[in-house]
Amino acid sequence: MERLPFRDAVAQQPQSLQEALASLRKTLKTADLSALRTGTTAIIGIGASFYAGVVAAAQFRRQGLRAFAFAGGELYDAADNAADAYIAVSASGRSVEPAKAAGLRDKALTIGIAKTAESPLAAAVGTMIGTGSGIDSGPNTTSYLGSLLALGLIADAEGEPSNTNWDALPGDFEALSAAIADPVSKASALLAGKRSIDCVGANAQLGTAGYAALLLREAVRVPAQNWDTLNYLHGPMEPNDAGTGVIVFGDGRERQLAQDLAGFGIPTVLVTSAAVEDRDNLVVIRIPGTENGILAAIYAALPTQMIMQDLAEGVGLPKCEFRYRQTDTKLPLPDPA
């Protein structure tokens, strides 16, 4: 599968979002997803797609849709009646775990989301949605945002309206890239060389924190962990010092947390729409404010990706190459013949 260099893929995302928006709107016009309006929805993923599910489930609930995120392996028991409908998310369309979990639910509505509808995931679900997000990088960039966009449009179609102007997203994303270039550079310098980095957020931004931690582990090869904001206050921050770092996502209790961490001498980056100022050990990256958690996660993904590309290049890893790739995590591609 063709891959872009990570930095090139990040730069391409405004165009990717524009193309995905047009493609998804066309597909969703004819997709009957009305069953999501009643009962419970399980959003299934693995890796970055699981964290997209965490983001989406929080926003689905905010829009009146009962939804929860599951890692694919949690639903390998066909007798586990976790939900009434299942959305399997796999950026590549090849992840074994969400496909297997969805394929075991032959009596429920099953929906697949991948960057193309012509993927192995299609064989495991009743309804397949291709995002049309185009060529991706490793780790995922354009396809992660494409999955979030698909889930955001589904939430608006089947749940209470969020009044989100999705049409403005590609242009806003391009403008944001230029606006945050300087604070991203400062954040990258602050976090460079840290022996571990925690990533913290709540609700939808807990998913962003998971995505950030995964990128740090895959692209930068730095130990990282995601934490729920309030959980983080109860002890997990104790190992931190000047040799570690923390990235905090959010506009609520996260503001005080980031300032407290910086005051303790812990290098901290805060990604927020709130008016918070830089200080010693604290770099603030401002993103647009929105009530839509999925849109907020899309905005927060950009500085996350930009920091990761700086850190990865700083340790001589401009291209992500897994050292310990497993052989049973991907479905085979169809035979071209």
CA atoms of 211 and 207, how far apart (whole Å): 6
Q: Residue 151's pLDDT band (boundaries 50, 70, 90)?
A: very high
Angle formed by the axes of helices 48-62 and 142-158, to 10°? 20
Within 10 A of 76 (CB to CB), how many other CB atoms are there?
11
Considering the domain 180-314 in this protein, what is its CATH number?
3.40.50.10490
Q: pLDDT tens for residues 173-221?
A: 999 999 999 999 999 999 999 999 999 999 999 999 999 999 999 999 9
pLDDT at 325: 87
DSSP three-state, residue 120: helix
Domain boundaries, given as residue ranges, for the chain: 3-168, 180-314
Q: What percent of the chain has pLDDT over 70?
A: 98
Degrees, nearest 5: CA angle 309-311-312:
65
Mean pLDDT of 4-10: 90
Q: Residue 229's pLDDT band (boundaries 50, 70, 90)?
A: very high
pLDDT at 337: 55
Residue type, 164: T
Q: Which ranges constitute the DSSP H helices of the chain? A: 6-28, 48-62, 96-103, 142-158, 169-179, 181-191, 204-215, 229-232, 253-263, 293-314
With 90 as the cut, is the pLDDT of residue 322 above it?
no
Q: pLDDT tens for residues 28-67?
A: 999 999 999 999 999 999 999 999 999 999 999 999 999 9
CA atoms of 150 and 39, how far apart (whole Å): 20
Evaluate whether 3-168 and 180-314 have a shared fold. Answer: yes
Q: pLDDT tens for residues 72-127?
A: 999 999 999 999 999 999 999 999 999 999 999 999 999 999 999 999 999 999 99
Angle formed by the axes of helices 169-179 and 181-191, to 10°? 60
**Domain 3-168 CATH assignment equals 1.10.10.10:** no
